[in-house]
Amino acid sequence: MTTLTTQVAIIGGGPSGLLLSQLLNRAGIETVILERSTRAHVLSRIRAGILEWGTVELLQVAGVDARMQREGIPHDGCYMTDDERMVHIDFLELTGKRVMVYGQTEVTADLYAAQDAMGTTVLHEVSDVEILDLDQPRSAVEFTHEGTRKRLECLYVAGCDGFHGVSRKTIPEHKRQEFERVYPFGWLGILSETPPVNDELIYSNSRHGFALASMRNSNLVRYYVQVSLTDKVEDWSDQRFWDEFSRRIPSDAAGRLITGPSIEKSIAPLRSFVSEPLRWGNLFLVGDAAHIVPPTGAKGLNLAASDVYYLHEALIEALSGRGTAGIDAYSEKALSRIWKAMRFSWQMTLMLHRFDDEDAFAAQMRRATLDHLAHSETARRDLAENYIGLPF
């Protein structure tokens, strides 16, 4: 068996694993990243597009913000709608901060380029991963790569390998507590090389169901409609999507809608999920390995970034000989922010979606919530503060 050594083994080569590695490397800490997919597959995944300002600042600290600053689109607010009514949430006026529209795929590409420049070892198409000796002074990750069984010895392991990865499952089942809410609908999303229907995001609640008008740049949009969990992508032609999307957004916006062929189309189910604790011995869970949020609150990538923030500081403290207070507090500190983001995403999901077999009371509550936002600066500020991201 081939044996490698490093200080921190990172399982998962998505944005959270790459960002953690980048921050640690810049502090002089060695890492090795293990990723089960090819790099091309990682870079082809269409994911989030809204960055909290704290995430933007963390990418600046990591030294990977140059392209984002050139190509990203700062957003000062968004719109919440109920059929024809549109309520503007002015992030900048209410909080002094904004969000950045910059796709997760682009963040990942920037991080790969930075890691390549630093010479970090990133092994792709790794399989049969096993995490060992988490209660010992040195731990290990054994895996198969290029047909050879290998062993990576390390001091700490960061599990950034997503909901289906091995990291969370390595924590004994009787030591884990999991909380889950599965929603009875999904989001059908498309990418289209067309101009955005609006200069800021529109979260649309309508009698026909939810829709979201988002964007990636001035000629690339990401639009969504709420669909049944039984729907399949093949059921939705481009024309059917455009017809449904246009009737779910306010007519003024629909009148500006420019349609075109989709270049990507997919359906994502919605769930809220948290697994506690985030630490087991020398193993730390990060991002989707520990929690999943519905995309309604734009928190998925941003929660992973806040986990990375807490963990990179804690590991630098421990590996520089300044003590273990940070790693001992990591799970509790990260979970405190995670649950607040869970609450916000759950609340946004309830406010904007039609549920199966709901009664007329539910629709009235959605309208009352929007009316409250329209007339209460305090309510708008609360939404804005959570949307732009609570402090790390």
Catalytic residue among 102, 112, 203, 330: 203
Among this protein's residues, is 97 annotated catalytic?
no
> Active site includes 224?
no
Please state whether beta strands 220-227 and 127-132 pair in parallel, antiparallel, or not at all (unpaired): unpaired
Distance CA 240, CA 226 (A): 13
Give me the catalytic one of 15, 196, 294, 295: 295
112 is catalytic: no
- Cβ-based neighbour number of residue 91 at 10 Å: 24
Among 277, 274, 338, 282, residue whose Cα is nearest residue 314: 282
Give the whole-angstrom CA distance, residue 293 versus residue 343: 10
Please tell me which residue in 112, 223, 309, 387 is annotated as part of the active site. 387
| Per annotation, catalytic residue among 299, 312, 333, 353 | 299
The SS3 call for residue 321 is: coil
Is 372 catalytic? The answer is no
Question: Which of 15, 75, 183, 309 is an active site residue?
Answer: 75
CB atoms within 10 A of CB 312: 26
Is residue 200 within 8 Å of residue 227, measured between CB atoms?
A: no
Nearest to 207 by CA among 345, 320, 363: 363
Residue 353 appears among annotated catalytic residues: no
- Classify the C-alpha dihedral 57-105-348-73 as positive or negative: positive
Catalogue the active-site residues. Answer: 75, 203, 295, 299, 387
